[in-house]
Amino acid sequence: MVKTTLSVIKADIGSLAGHHVAPPQLLDVARQELAKAKREGLIEDFYVTRVGDDLELIMTHRKGEESEEIHTLAWETFKRAADVARGLGLYGAGQDLLSDAFSGNLRGMGPGYAEIEIEERPAEPVVVFMADKTEPGAFNLPVFRMFADPFNTAGLVIAPKLHRGFTFEVMDVHEGKVVELSTPEEMYDLLALIGSPERYVIRRVYTREEPRDVAAAVSTTRLNLIAGKYVGKDDPVAIVRAQSKFPALGEVLEPFAFPHLVAGWMRGSHNGPLMPVGEADARPSRFDGPPRVVALGFNVKDSKLIGPSDLFADVAFERARRLANEIADYMRRHGPFMPHRLGPGEMEYTTLPQVLEKLKDRFREA
Ligand code: 13P
Ligand code: 13P
Ligand code: MG
Ligand code: MG
């Protein structure tokens, strides 16, 4: 049977009025490039959108994961869009493309991506999550809840196909290693790791029921230490399969009704609530945030994308948004204090070394 690959590839290649929103001109370029690739038979289908300042390419094809052709297509598309961004004088043009438009932090080592290669079920529902002003570890809590928390996912308790649980592949971003843990048996070990989302990040989830099948993938492409500095604060994307032997659509979305605190707000150096929004509201502006997440639901059929449905546009997520705004007010009142500001090792910007250097002769024994 022919397999289908779903590739979600994203990059911040420039935005309007600050780190705010990728304008329609960039989406137009991306649509033109991907329409050409579809005509030429390189990809089967595509959907282009933006979440905040991140340009998102959602593509189906038959080239498998980590395909050079597909990644080249994405890179060339981003490069063309970056040229347009430069022409328009957009902020951070080419930010994620190792270009000359370096905006003052070590981020910008390359685009992020999540991919799954699947044998399509007769009905193949998938959810594509895309977030801005945060990092891949932001998905730890919701993905854990989808696949391991019986208070979130009723199916773990009452659906025979889910009852054995799932296997999580977790990446230690400091060591560049991965480990697999299966729930429910190893739930506490798993939580001991992923409760530190800046270091341990869920990268993939698999069924335990045979045949082992991929259930979810999170972009962790830039998660590594370069020259002793963590450069993984990359706005992430994730793909989650739904229904049948996977959690139901509503079980996949339910964790986002709680706007949990994530790292990456303002200058990549603050914690804030992750606000679930529809595509139209993925335009973070308050203190460059608060962090946003969009969820698009598709069905994949014969490698074509049916949909999407803009899942967080549902009025049922309004309370989560209101709560996120209240949490944002509360967190903002801490100003430069932790835990609103991130700890010293995690900030993308810091003046601490300069301040310590300046004051070194003035420090005396206490
Ligand atoms: P600049 O220092 O380039 O103004 O960027 C600040 C910022 O918002 C990036 O995180
Ligand atoms: P992005 O990572 O979305 O470019 O945001 C940079 C930032 O820190 C804005 O405050
Ligand atoms: Mg940006
Ligand atoms: Mg961004």
pLDDT along the chain (366 residues), means of 10: 94 94 98 98 98 97 92 91 97 76 41 94 98 96 98 98 97 90 98 96 96 95 54 84 98 98 95 98 98 98 98 98 98 98 84 92 96
Catalytic residue from among 10, 12, 132, 234:
12
What are the extents of the domains in the chain? 1-119, 120-366
Catalytic residue from among 91, 200, 230, 310:
230
Catalytic residue from among 53, 133, 233, 235:
233
Mutate to test the pocket of ligand 2, among 12, 19, 102, 130 (most ligand atoms within 8 A of CB): 19
Region label for 274, one of left (φ > 0), alpha (ψ between -120 and 50) or beta (otherwise): beta
Contact 107, 19 (CB under 8 A): no
Q: Which two tokens stand for residue 176?
A: 């560049």
- pLDDT at site 106: 28
- pLDDT at site 224: 55
- Reference 239, options 305, 171, 174, 184; nearest CA is 305
For 17, other C-beta atoms within 10 Å of its C-beta total 12
Name the CA dihedral angle for 177, 180, 186, 191, rounded to a multiple of 10 degrees.
Answer: 50
Q: What is the 100 CA–ligand 1 centroid distance (Å)?
A: 15
Beta strand 237-241 with 112-118: parallel, antiparallel or unpaired? unpaired
- pLDDT at site 231: 53
Pocket flag, ligand 2, residue 19 (CB < 6 Å): yes
Stated pTM of the model: 0.94
- pLDDT at site 345: 80
Pocket flag, ligand 1, residue 289 (CB < 6 Å): no
- pLDDT at site 323: 98
245 is catalytic: no
Q: Which fold has domain 1-119?
A: Alpha-Beta Plaits (3.30.70)
Region label for 331, one of left (φ > 0), alpha (ψ between -120 and 50) or beta (otherwise): alpha
Sign of the Cα torsion 39, 40, 46, 49 reads negative
The residue type of 149 is D
Pocket flag, ligand 2, residue 267 (CB < 6 Å): yes
12 is catalytic: yes
Using CA atoms, how far apart are residues 250 and 146, in angstroms rounded to an integer? Answer: 10
- pLDDT at site 222: 60
Q: What is the 22 CA–ligand 4 centroid distance (Å)?
A: 9
DSSP-derived secondary structure letter, 65: T
Atom of ligand 2 nearest to the CA of 92: 4
- pLDDT at site 263: 96
